[in-house]
Amino acid sequence: MTKTNENKIELVNELDTAIEKTLSDLEAKREIWSKQELVATNTLYALLEASLEFYYFVTKSKSNEEAFKRVLRKTEQGTKDIWKKTSTLMIIVKTVFGDNKKSYAYATALKKAIEAKIGTEGNISMWEFLAQNNGINGVI
């Protein structure tokens, strides 16, 4: 075999090795991302479940709603008088998640959960509701 052919074979082997390493590294990074995504999703579901429970608590009685508004007035959100034209659910969602596009999706999912009596005695939890319906997008 000539020196030129040996060099070509060596370059091809080095290229193959580099490609295999890159693919292996990318797969490892995807596995890390996948685990982090699962943790983030579970955390979001738990946060939505807690938000739903808080909504049920706030709307359980007039005194709870008044206390919620009183506390809200002490915050930056409360200075906007948002409770006068915004639902209690949306106020909770905006307070927890901020005022952004995702908040509207979360509020819609929570509203559908409320309509289905999710999280009430004898019914499935918000977390289960989301998991059974392929997440927020599946619910909305």
Q: What is the pLDDT of residue 23?
A: 95
Structure tokens at 59: 């709307």
Residue with tokens 């490609």: 19
Find out whether 136 and 112 touch, Cβ atoms under 8 Å.
Answer: no
CA–CA dist 120, 32 (Å, integer): 36
H or E stretch covering 44: helix 3-58
Mean pLDDT over residues 56-68, rounded? Answer: 95
pLDDT for res 107: 97
User: Is the per-residue pLDDT at 28 higher than 80?
Assistant: yes
21-27 average pLDDT score? 95
Output helix, strand, coil percentages for the chain, rounded to the nearest 5: 80, 0, 20
List pLDDT tens digits, range 72-116: 888 765 556 666 788 999 999 998 998 889 999 999 999 999 999
- Report which residue type is found at 139: V
Query: Distance (Å, rounded) from C-alpha 88 to C-alpha 109?
Result: 15
Exposure on the CB side of residue 53, measured as CA atoms within 13 A: 12
